[in-house]
Amino acid sequence: KQEVTQIPAALSVPEGENLVLNCSFTDSAIYNLQWFRQDPGKGLTSLLLIQSSQREQTSGRLNASLDKSSGRSTLYIAASQPGDSATYLCAVFRANAGKSTFGDGTTLTVKP
Amino acid sequence: SQTIHQWPATLVQPVGSPLSLECTVEGTSNPNLYWYRQAAGRGLQLLFYSVGIGQISSEVPQNLSASRPQDRQFILSSKKLLLSDSGFYLCAWNRGGYYNEQFFGPGTRLTVL
């Protein structure tokens, strides 16, 4: 059974700091890993998708890496801003299962 | 471009009443469709998913059911709501196949009293 863990559960940083969010998974048989952002009371917004054959993806100030063999992914946020405050979730799409397993998320607060 | 809709946005229902939540996707055909529930302060729990009309897979035994009467329509139902059914219900879709980026709707906040 696939398990996805996100550590830390909450993180508070001052504005301008670079930060890393972590995601680990137990079964390396995945098609892809996806990072999402969720604002309070809202749906999930897709940030980055990394295919199992890829090592990283970048979008603006965000960079996501994937090490499938060790079951780890990181989301790097450069020069954090108060508008980055949200809950960040990772999800792994399991091979031959047609469905994803989600972590519980990391709630990020960026203080002005 | 593709768009996913959910309604209603919020719902307050008494225990024992029926439920019907609707999700529709525009701008694509034959999507995979998913229903998730997110309890307060917790992660997403997959409830149902569908790879085609009339094809529904259930992940968690419960008093909820799902139907897919049309290609881009996914409905979540219950005959009698329980207090434990309260939560944030999210519909999602992806194209299937190898590239499986998942997209979510705005969600429905259900409170059962």
Question: Of residues B1 and A85, which shows the higher confidence score?
Answer: A85
Q: Report the C-alpha gap between B56 and A99 in whole angstroms.
A: 13
Across the interface, of A32, A44, A99, the residue whose CB is closest to B46 is A99
Any A CB within 8 A of B65 CB: no
Residues B26-58: pLDDT tens digits? 999 899 999 999 987 678 999 999 999 989 998
Give the pLDDT band of residue B61 (cuts 50, 70, 90). Answer: low
User: Within 10 Å of residue B56's Cβ, how many Cβ atoms?
Assistant: 17
Any A CB within 8 A of B49 CB: yes
Task: Report DSSP state, residue B29.
Answer: S
Residues B13-26: pLDDT tens digits? 999 999 999 999 99
| B3-7 and B19-26 strand pairing | antiparallel
Residues A35-66: pLDDT tens digits? 999 999 999 999 999 999 999 999 999 999 99
CB A58 within 8 A of CB A96: no
> Residue A7 contacts by C-beta under 8 Å, 6 or more apart in sequence?
A22, A24, A106
CB A72 within 8 A of CB A28: no
Phi-psi category of residue B84: left, alpha or beta, with phi > 0 → left and psi -120 to 50 → alpha: alpha
Q: Determine, for residues A44 and B92 on separate chains, whether the beta-carbon distance falls below 8 Å.
A: yes
Any A CB within 8 A of B32 CB: yes
